[in-house]
């Protein structure tokens, strides 16, 4: 369903308060790939990278660094503000969304 990942990673980070991408638009192609539980001890970015690796069938070590497309600290700080917060960005030729509740979703890029 998702296109094959490539080495290129471009970013357009759009942090905007809204509902979860999964709840608000399941028909728009969003696919939930995981979630983050702050009580498990991992950082949000670690949970996201692990979920993306599994979703793309790639090894975590084969993914391009996430910090090349989004500032991990700023992302975590923004999402911590509210469970209604949502950030989206482009990574591995996919649109990635994370909401303040810690839900991760991806969808193919639309042209």
pLDDT of residue 25: 58
Residue 86 resides in a domain: yes
- Per the domain annotation, does 9 fall within a domain? no
Is residue 58 assigned to a domain? Answer: yes
For residue 51, what pLDDT is reported? Answer: 95
Tell me: the pLDDT tens digits for 7-36? 333 444 444 444 455 555 556 789 999 999
Position 80 confidence tier, pLDDT thresholds 50, 70, 90:
confident
* Domain count within the chain: 1
**By C-alpha distance, which of 71, 95, 73, 98 is closest to 85?**
98
Q: How far apart are CA 3 and CA 75, in angstroms?
A: 25
Structural domain for 100, as ranges:
16-108
93, part of any domain: yes
Domain assignment of residue 8, yes or no: no
Does a structural domain hold residue 40? yes
């Amino acid at each position: 369903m998702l296109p094959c990942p490539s080495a290129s990673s471009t970013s357009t980070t759009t942090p905007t308060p809204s509902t979860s991408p999964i709840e608000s638009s399941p028909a728009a192609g969003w696919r939930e790939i995981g979630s983050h539980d702050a009580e498990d001890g991992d950082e949000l970015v670690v949970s996201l990278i692990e979920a993306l690796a599994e979703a793309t069938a790639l090894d975590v070590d084969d993914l391009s660094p996430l910090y090349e497309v989004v500032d991990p600290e700023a992302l975590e700080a923004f999402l911590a503000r509210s469970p209604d917060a949502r950030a989206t960005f482009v990574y591995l030729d996919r649109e990635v969304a994370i909401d303040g509740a810690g839900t991760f979703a991806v969808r193919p890029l639309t042209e």
